[in-house]
Amino acid sequence: MENPFSLAGKNIIVTGASSGIGRQTAVSCSQMGARVVLIARNTEQLNMTLSMMQSPESHLVYSLDLADLDGMETVIKDIVGKTGKLHGLVNAAGISTTLPLKLISNEKLEEFFKTNVYSAIQMSRLFTKQVNVSTEGGSVIFFSSVMGIVGESGKTLYSLTKGALVSATKSLALEFASKKIRFNAVSPGVVVTPMSQNAVYSKDEESLNRIIALHPLGLGMPVDISNACVYLLSDASRWVTGSNLVIDGGYTAR
């Protein structure tokens, strides 16, 4: 029987592939047979990801600042020229912070929306162009967060961007259903990554234990999220669109 979770023959772009969940997603996709295009700013870290992947020679690496829209367009054109049409896009690049309202400036809003929302929307716009996407359709994943659906003090700025992606997922799913391009969001709880290890709550034991206690199954690992991405990119999820898949160790069950 054919494995419905296989990604063999699929060309998949992963942004934010230089560390954390983005890196693990690229690795997991390669293990499931996909040809993966890694995009992030840090070339050294991208090459590190590449070395962890199955058949490193068959994947592509692009160093790109996702705020550079013209650069993005050039890169996508180059990718399709080399791989042929695309089947999947994982928008894993993102930034996080804890900030009270009084410290949220227009500059901060701009920075967070540019990185977490604008880049994912623009990348999706390019991916869905007829010249770029497979005629069989495709799958786009937005990285939201439990903070996109529940609140936490000091998380307003981050929540704003993550909630926007959940909303976008639903409208885009309807807009592209006739083209068989599926849009879904993934909303992780706290996952052990360099980003979470640099967070305020990781700096002292008491805060960290409080965060761990909020997750009945403990903190997540990057592979817990990348496995969900493999599912959403594969034909196993062909009837899934407009969904927000919450993977949070029970965080939102309370």
Q: What value does the mean pLDDT take over residues 184-197? A: 91
pLDDT at 200: 67
- CB hemisphere CA count around 45 (13 angstroms): 17
- CB hemisphere CA count around 59 (13 angstroms): 31
pLDDT at 69: 87
Per-residue pLDDT reduced to its tens digit, 2-60: 899 999 999 999 999 999 999 999 999 999 999 999 999 999 999 999 999 999 999 99
Question: Against a cut of 0.75, is the pTM above it?
Answer: yes
Do 161 and 204 meet the contact criterion of CB atoms below 8 Å apart? no
Q: Indicate the DSSP class of residue 56.
A: G
Q: Indicate the DSSP class of residue 180.
A: T
Radius of gyration of the chain (CA): 17
Q: What value does the mean pLDDT take over residues 82-86? A: 98
Fold of 11-247: Rossmann fold (3.40.50)
Active site residues: 158
Q: What value does the mean pLDDT take over residues 79-107? A: 97
Query: Which tokens hold the place of 203?
Result: 């700096």
Pairing verdict, β 11-15 and 35-40: parallel
